[in-house]
Amino acid sequence: MKVCMISTYSISEGGVSSYTRNLVQALKERGVNVIIFSNKSRNEKWKQSCEGVYPVWDKGILYPFQIFKAMVANQDANIVHIQHEFFLYGGVFSAFFFPVLLFLVRLLGKPVVVTMHGVIPLFELNEKFKKEIRVFP
């Protein structure tokens, strides 16, 4: 089996990257072939030691199309696993393009798994939260 993982992967990029690295290692220990389509990091050194990591997308509104282009060129994955957190792919505006990514990936006819990180319970989306996150007017 071959899994295409879409996530940040740099050591310096936080919890999602760490989670992805641990998950990839566990999958590889079980004989699963994994490729990672990561963001293009400014720190090039970490990529040299990561076999199967392809920096294909930039944070910003173009990321769904950059990922889709890479997936079209590498269609041998059996399943696509996408990591998601609200600001993982860029700022507020970029977050609204995540459904575009899902739509494009589904066009390839592959099963898709999405792991949601940083989920906020609905009852905590109140005025205090809006002031703390400083995203909403």
pTM of the model: 0.80
What are the pLDDT digits (tens) for 3-40?
A: 999 998 876 667 888 888 888 889 999 999 999 999 98
For 42-83, what is each residue's pLDDT tens digit?
655 555 556 788 899 999 999 999 999 999 998 889 999 999
Name residues whose C-beta falls within 8 Å of residue 42's C-beta, 6 or more positions apart in sequence.
none
130 — alpha (psi -120 to 50), left (phi > 0) or beta? Answer: alpha
Domains of the chain in sequence order: 2-133 (3.40.50.2000)
